[in-house]
Amino acid sequence: MGDKNNRRWTGGINMSTRTSQKDRILVLMGGFSAEREVSIRSGKECSMALESLGYNVSTLDPGYDIINDLLEINPDIVFNSLHGSWGEDGHIQSILEYLKINYTHSGVIASAKAMNKIASKEIFSRHGIPIAKSFDLHDLDNLKVDFPIIIKPINGGSSIGVKVINNHSEALSYIKKNQIDLKNFFAEEFIEGTDFTCGVIGQKTTEIAEIKTNNIIFDYNAKYKSKLTKHCIPGNLKPNIYEKMKEYALRAHVSLNCKGVSRVDFRYSSKTSEEKLVCLEINTQPGMTRNSLLPDLASHSGIAFSELVEWIINDASLDR
């Protein structure tokens, strides 16, 4: 485990208020994606936190008339609590840039690249961040694959649609059943280890959380429904691995030119003769309920939930 004396928040983030409480803040939440439910929970928590601080807050569950709605509401700042496709992949960001409305989290290109797991993994690899080996599901028959593997959506979050495949027969069965939608998924080697995650707030890493769950993977149920899932902060890692993970988290954030806050997920195995650490993905719109990982990590770094939400709106801008 890392040196606890070196794990406290060491500054570099100005948490003082800059946004005027007269500014009209619009919290976007809900949307069209499979992560709608989580987005609504995040948005409600963030809007309540801002209201408790005295800000002028309204909320919007965006539909197809989003542009007209934004023009009518005319907010000074949009707090983006949307998760998943459309809200997290650069689409809403491009609309806000076009309308010249300051917004939170990452910009158009960074959001699009981060949402695409294949594209982001290629960028991570070029920047020296370890990744798991990937496989094209269309060519699985012709590839030498060491099972188990894990199938994931190329664009998607909250571990929706993730499935572990243990052998060649299971793989063929999965491909046959999902032929129509196969282009939206890919496979990668499954690291039989433990999930860890590290937050980034304004170019500064938080502590690392070790995720303990009874599930073989940290899937949707483990994230949002199971009462058995625990966040252990700081994660139980050897000091050199702990520091490497923090280094890779910041490198991932910077390599995609992310802004504001992000959360970088890892898988680590120490069970084999050769230890293995891989970066799984980066979340540019991490969950923001009070029980979500990023607020939990921030709390352990001395940043209260309302303080974190306030910092995020203070960081809002255009050209992100």
**Going by C-beta distance under 8 Å and a sequence separation of 6 or more, which residues neighbour residue 274?**
none
Lowest mean pLDDT among 53-57, 234-238, 269-273: 269-273
Lowest mean pLDDT among 118-122, 156-160, 296-300: 156-160
Best CA proximity match to 132, nearest among 238, 267, 250: 267
Quickly tell me which residue has 């309540």 as its tokens: 48
Q: What is the pLDDT of residues 43-69, one digit of tens each?
A: 999 999 999 999 999 999 999 999 999
Alpha helices in the chain (DSSP H): 36-52, 66-73, 91-99, 108-115, 117-126, 168-177, 220-224, 239-255, 293-300, 305-314
pLDDT at 159: 56
- Reported confidence tier of residue 176, pLDDT bands at 50, 70, 90: confident
- Reported confidence tier of residue 183, pLDDT bands at 50, 70, 90: confident
Question: Whole-angstrom Cα distance, residue 299 to residue 9?
Answer: 10
Indicate the Cα dihedral angle 244, 153, 90, 211, nearest 10°.
-40
Angle between helices 108-115 and 117-126 (to 10 degrees): 100
pLDDT at 163: 84
Q: Is the pLDDT of residue 88 over 60?
A: yes
For the chain, domains (ranges, CATH) are: 24-104 (3.40.50.20), 114-131+192-306 (3.30.470.20), 134-189 (3.30.1490.20)
Q: Which residue has the higher pLDDT, 76 or 270?
A: 76
pLDDT at 272: 63
